[in-house]
Structures are given as C-alpha cells and as structure tokens.
Chain A
C-alpha cells in the first residue's frame, strides 16, 4: 500500500479534474490559431514538441526539482521562486504561472497537503502577495508533500502540461478529441526521452513562437484563454 499511495495521489493531483485554473491558458496557441499559423493536428504536434515540451524540460523542470528538494526550507523556496520570477522573460506566461501556482497553493492548502501552508505563509510574510508562487515551485512543494519520487513528480507535471495544451487545442477546434489522444500517445516517447536526460542545473528556455504569441495575444477582441 505504501508504494502505491504516492502514485494514487499523483494521479489525483495531476488529473485534469483537479482544480488548478490551468484550463484557462493555452500558451499562445489561441493567438497562433486566430492568426492562421496553427491549422491542424500536425501544427499542434509541432508546437507541442518544439515549444511547449522543451520549455517545460529546460525551464520548469529545474525549478520543480529544486523546490522539491527544499520543500521544508521556506527561505530557500522564496529564493527559488524569486529566481523563477527574474528568469521568466515572458510577462504573460509569468502571470499565468503565478495564477496557476496560486490556485494550487489555495487548493492544496485547503486539503492539507504538507508544506503548502508554510510556503503560503512565507509568501505572505515576505510581502510578495501575488508576485510569487510560481507554478513549478509550488508543484515541487506539493510533490514533496505528497511523498512523490522526483521522477514521479516530473513525469506527472510534464504530462499535465502536455494534456492542458492539447485540451486547449481541442477547445479551439484545432484537433478532435480522439485525435488529441493519438497525438498524446505519439508524444509520450518524446516526453520519456526528455525525462531520461539529466535535469539542467540552471533553468533556461528558447520557445519564442509560443512565448511571443502569448505576449501578442489580442486583449481588445475575442479571446477564450488568458494566454
């Protein structure tokens, strides 16, 4: 039972039914769709494998890993979170990350996931309010609280990121719901290969297409998503 318990909690907390607010973000896909740059499953696959997954592996992953290792040290967590803030060059994606992180803090705080209330209190005490609580940092704190292994935590959050992106693609009419599952199945080996590589010591990413699309998002006309 003890072996499977963290796995059950991983499946619970990375399921799309777990409330995190992530459904309202498309990582620039809505803009690319509206501009005609994404037209079908091939384009969605290309954006996912060349922009979304590399950004997660290069940028989110190190912060997740570091936060997980520092989950019981709130000063260190605040340092990691501040570095995530400084290195997040896309303001729109940074805001999205904070909003999702904050949602996760609120929900995990209410359901009593260990370490979460302490980190929330540290953010409040530091007076950083809504300027802190980045998604990968919070995910690291949560993963430690749930007793996950580093690989479980990274696989779960990477999979959740891929599913959220593909779900947005379905809602935007880029691909069908069944085609989306085929795409995810085909991308899984790419994700596994990425996770088999060592986690970078320093975070860094180069996903200009999605990052600039998220910034370019039209704020005056129709938009379904926050990025």
Chain B
C-alpha cells in the first residue's frame, strides 16, 4: 500500500478568510453591514465575496451601502448549488478571494458570505480559516435543537434578530441557553444588527480580532 501524505496547508501570510453561512433571510448581509463600521473604527481592512443564489442583490447592497469600497466586493455565481460553491467545489470562491487579496494587499479579513441555505450547510476548510453560522429567532425557537452541521460544526453560532423574539413568541434567553447547551464549549452570540439598539456585533468583531488577527479586544 502507498503511504498517505496529507495535503499541507499554505502558511503564506495573508488575510484570514471568514465564512458566513446560514438560511435565507437570517441576516447575513445585515450582519456584515453592521460589522463594517466596527471594522473601520478598529482599522481592520476587509473585503467581501458574496454567493447570491439567484441575483447579485447582496453584492449590490454592500456596494451601494457606502460602508465599503465597491471594488472590494466580488459576487460569485453558485450555479443553483449553495452547498457546492462553499464546500464540494469552492474553487471559484478561492479564485475570487485570491483576486481580492492580490488587488488589495493590506487586507486583514476576507468575508465569504454564503447564499441562503439550510441547516446542513458547512464551509470547506480549503476555502476558509473560520466560519460562523447565522440563524434568527423568526425561524422558530426549535432551530438550535434541530442541530444540523451548520449549528453544530460552525466556529461561532450567531442568533440574530433578538429584538423580534417577543413578536414571534420566542424566549430569547431560552433559545440562547439551549443553543449553548447543544454546542457545549463552542461559542454562541445573540445579536441585533438593525435599529436604534445594535447588540452583539462588537462581541463578534472582538472574537474575530482576538482569534484570527491576534489583537486584544477594544477597551
């Protein structure tokens, strides 16, 4: 028998690549929009790759929002396969991230936003260094206990739209507690990305800065 030689990971310095996955409408793009001012305030240079499923809506929204240089946003078509483009065949996303890295040498992070998907969605570690999965309370309080690879395997589970919880008959504290219990030692952060009271976004950026950029949290 031949001896297996593991494929070595590139140790070339470059921006950390962050996956952001989650179901349609869970607030992935809104979370990116909410993080942008925090990144800017901390001097963290960012670019974004979007995988809109049927439009370039997310890419255009980020480009038009004034929060990021439109040149730093690339859209990659998913061929009706949101899983495939981030997991089984991430090559087009890798190429898009490589292009951004070459065009903007000072980048700290490249965010790769998945198209809206389901709870079985995961990112290939060929594509990203770390990934988060975003769900929201509007999908029901049973989403964490349905588990699924997105809930269980992500480096961070984000539960978004906490402000909507009372309107959709969800106990925000209970869904967060259950998610933490299901994920054991893996982190869970609740957040709200829109409206007068933004919550949890600083905490997410703190985690990225600490775990991926090896920076101290903002005081």
Contacts and interface: CB of A to CB of B under 8 A. Distances in A.
Given A221-B55, A224-B53, A19 B88 contact: yes
A86 interface: no
Interface stretch (B24-32, B74-82, B128-136, B211-219): B74-82
Interface string B33-69: 0000000000000000000011100000000000000
B55 A168 contact: no
B120 interface: no
B14 to A, nearest CB: 15
A223 B77 contact: yes
A20 B89 contact: yes
Nearest to A102: B95
A199 interface: no
A224 B89 contact: no
B7 A19 contact: no
B91 interface: yes
Contacts of A17: 88
Contact of A25 (B54, B79, B88): B79
B90 interface: yes
Given A111-B7, A222-B54, A223-B55, A99 B92 contact: yes
Contacts of A103: 91-92, 94-95
Contacts of A171: 79-81
A224 B91 contact: no
Contact of B99 (A107, A111, A130, A221): A130
Contacts of A224: 53-54, 77-80
B84 interface: yes
Indicate the size class of the contact surface on chain A.
20 to 34
A21 to B, nearest CB: 4
A198 to B, nearest CB: 33
B133 to A, nearest CB: 22
Interface in B86-118: 88-92, 94-95, 99
A17 B94 CA distance: 17
Given A24-B79, A168-B79, A171-B81, A223 B54 contact: yes
B191 interface: no
Nearest to B96: A99
B152 interface: no
Contacts of B7: 110-111
Nearest to A107: B91
Contacts of B80: 171-172, 224-225
Contacts of B193: none
Interface in A191-226: 221-226
B157 interface: no
Interface of B: 7, 53-55, 76-81, 84-85, 88-92, 94-95, 99
Given A19-B90, A223-B54, 12 more contacts: A19-B91, A20-B89, A21-B95, A24-B76, A24-B81, A106-B91, A168-B79, A171-B81, A222-B54, A223-B55, A224-B77, A224-B80
| 7 residue pairs, one from A and one from B, having the closest CB atoms | A103-B91, A24-B79, A19-B89, A226-B77, A21-B92, A171-B80, A224-B80
6 contacts: A20-B89, A20-B91, A23-B89, A111-B7, A172-B80, A225-B77
